[in-house]
Amino acid sequence: MGVASHSYHWMKTGFRPAKSRISRWRVEANRIIKRCESLKKMTDDRLERYSLELRWRAKSGEPLKKILPEAYALARESAWRTLKMEHFPVQLMGGMALFEGGIAEMQTGEGKTLTAVLPAYLRALMGKGCHVITVNDYLAQRDAEIMSPVFNKLGLSVGTITADMEDEDRRTAYACDITYGTANEMGFDFLRDRIRIGASAPGQLEQAISNHKTSGKEPLVQRGNYFALIDEADSVLIDEARTPLIIGLIQPNDAASVNLFRWSNRATHQLESEEDFVYEPKKRSAYLTDQGCRKVLLMPKPSLLDSIDTERIYKQVEQSLVARFGFLKDRDYVVVDEEVVIVDESTGRMMDGRKWQDGLHQSIEAQEHVPVTASTGQAARITVQSFFQNYSYLAGMTGTAALAEKEIRKTYKVSVTSVPTHRPCLRIGDPPRLFKTVQAKRMAVVEEIERIRLKRCPVLVGTPSVEASETLGDLLAMKAIPHQILNAKYHEQEAAIVKKAGEPSRVTIATNMAGRGTDILLTDEVRENGGLHVIATEMHTSARIDRQLIGRSARQGDPGQYQFFLSLEDELLRCLETHQLQRIIESAKADENGELAPSWISFFNNTQSFLEKLHRKQRRDMLKQEKHRIEMFHKMGLDPYLEWTE
């Protein structure tokens, strides 16, 4: 499209950028669909030759923007021939949004996996590698397996990166035209390559890479960071951005350290809140008062602790307090085979191989009476924000980006555009119901499930933690209501459970639904009866995570409903001081069923907004620290990602 066309759509939409883009993309999508008609008569061999011709033109310097209509028509035709799936106009529009370097907000069920084929194919024509990033290994393998025939027919190769792969297999996967994997795996490969290169001044990195290739040393795994396309972009770019990617150096535990972790856990039970220590739930931090320091100093200790300095003992006791009051089993972590495994709040999945830093992970292990693992130092680290800023081109797609548009635009310098749905959304939201106690809420949820099941409609119940999902499951079992539980403990059966969640009267309890990646297919009977009903049993710390759950109902023009059930004992409110929350609960006036007035919803909304601002500030502060660190290392002529150069 030329300048005249841009100006036409700009004026046509009243000089509104997002509307102008949508108008321009819609016209171009219709042209691409017409172009597809001329490809129907081509043989498969001719189609592949056409693709190779486009590749030659791209590598010869012809702008990809000019090649886009032909490339998207080719990809659409290839998808039809291999998968019997054709891109809808809105998916072509989403593909254009992704190519132009933005975040496309596409509602759940609009076919983001198929949409990703378009920009991935076009960018891959340059031969520099294209990384398609998903939220877990299962989705990376599944998407690569499903979509590889589309790329293969056009002469492109597809690889997958998973956690259990050896370096040589990783090199082979990265050498492919399109590589599927997770942000963690690709970020860690980036760091491992920096370690292989060794410390070098950032300005001399290209020279260092060139020298490394000719040095005869172990070759690098990645071949560069050209284009990244991120599925569930807000989950990866926002929710995971508070945790930096760190390659650890194992620091074997000596007997004194193990004793310190276990003794500190016992010591916390002898300390009085407010007198000996102060715990700040909003910041998830604890510190000893002067009186607390004296008490810790005078406590009887094992002789092995004589070799540890007092400052380290104080710090470890504070970490043990954070572990005790700030981290809950079956919410923040689970214990599997005597091992503490972190649970991701935004997706409800186990984060194998990840550990909390500064002795916190060991504190939780001591608390759970499982073997204390070795603590880790830092060989290399990078934040998610910094990692993705290394890519020449960045794009993403998600169902819930609009709520974080300002932060995404400021941090990653990309725009967010909401792509229209293929069919009108028929989702109905019922007014939230609020209760004084969690028990009253759960009983109301069970009654509501019974009512919906009588209509022969399926129910998807969202819970914030493993513990909450299993407690609700026990209540349903007492009422002899058949149900399936999907949480961090049952992630292997995930696809099978989600696939059946749309059957009549089916009850599915899930911890979180971000990036589950499997459609809930409804039967004709269920559509006639009102579709899938979603019950959200709590608000999460971000409205985006709530929307991800709600978005499971009423997909692709199907009917559906959702409703929130909340209580004053919900985990969302644990960020408040204990005495403050207790005072609020005591002052609340409930009816005989324990239900509160609808006006209480503003209290929950305000708490959620507070936490969103707090987490936003934490991400902003971490990014500032990262920038400061990078600038300092630049001045020193050192690689900012290698901690051991400090």
| SS3 assignment for 316-338 | HHHHHHHHHHHCCECCCEEEECC
548 labeled binding residue? no
110 labeled binding residue? yes
Q: How far apart, in whole angstroms, are the C-alpha atoms of residue 601 and residue 596?
A: 10
Tell me how far apart the 2 most distant CA atoms of the chain are, in Å. 87
Beta strand 433-435 pairing with 416-418: unpaired
- Of all helices (H) and strands (E), which one includes residue 453? helix 438-454
Identify whether the C-beta of residue 382 lies closer than 8 Å to the C-beta of residue 190.
yes
| SS3 assignment for 376-425 | EEEEEEECHHHHHCCCCEEEEEECCCHHHHHHHHHHHCCCEEECCCCCCC
DSSP for 60-98?
TT--HHHHHHHHHHHHHHHHHHHHS----HHHHHHHHHH
Q: Which residue has the tokens 């310098």?
A: 413
Q: How far apart, in whole angstroms, are the C-alpha atoms of residue 569 and residue 105?
A: 33
113 labeled binding residue? yes
Neighbouring C-beta atoms of residue 97, cutoff 10 Å:
27
Q: 247 — phi, psi (to 5°)?
A: -95, 120
91 labeled binding residue? yes
**Rounded to whole angstroms, what are the CA distances from 116 to 50, 109, 143, 178?**
21, 14, 10, 11
3-state class of 531 per DSSP?
coil
Q: How far apart, in whole angstroms, are the C-alpha atoms of residue 481 and residue 502?
A: 16
Beta strand 375-382 pairing with 245-251: antiparallel
101 labeled binding residue? no
Among 274, 399, 381, 379, CA closest to 325: 274
Q: How far apart, in whole angstroms, are the C-alpha atoms of residue 489 and residue 504?
A: 25
473 labeled binding residue? no
**Rounded to whole angstroms, what are the CA distances from 523 to 40, 161, 499, 506?**
33, 35, 12, 12
Q: How far apart, in whole angstroms, are the C-alpha atoms of residue 153 and residue 481?
A: 48
Q: How far apart, in whole angstroms, are the C-alpha atoms of residue 394 and residue 491?
A: 30
Cα distance from N-terminal residue to C-terminal residue, the chain: 50
- Of all helices (H) and strands (E), which one includes residue 134? strand 130-134
Q: How far apart, in whole angstroms, are the C-alpha atoms of residue 183 and residue 388?
A: 9
- Beta partners for 335? 340
DSSP for 603-627?
HHHHHHHHHHHHHHHHHHHHHHHHH
Identify whether the C-beta of residue 47 lies closer than 8 Å to the C-beta of residue 127.
no
| SS3 assignment for 146-186 | HHHHHHHHCCCCEEECCCCCCHHHHHHHHCCCEEEEEHHHH
DSSP for 236-295?
HHTGGGGS-EEEEEEEPPPHHHHHHHHHHHHHHTTPPBTTTEEEETTTTEEEE-HHHHHH
DSSP state, residue 41: T
> How many residues make up the chain in this entry?
646
Binding-site residue positions: 91, 109-113, 519
Binding-site residue positions for ATP: 91, 109-113, 519
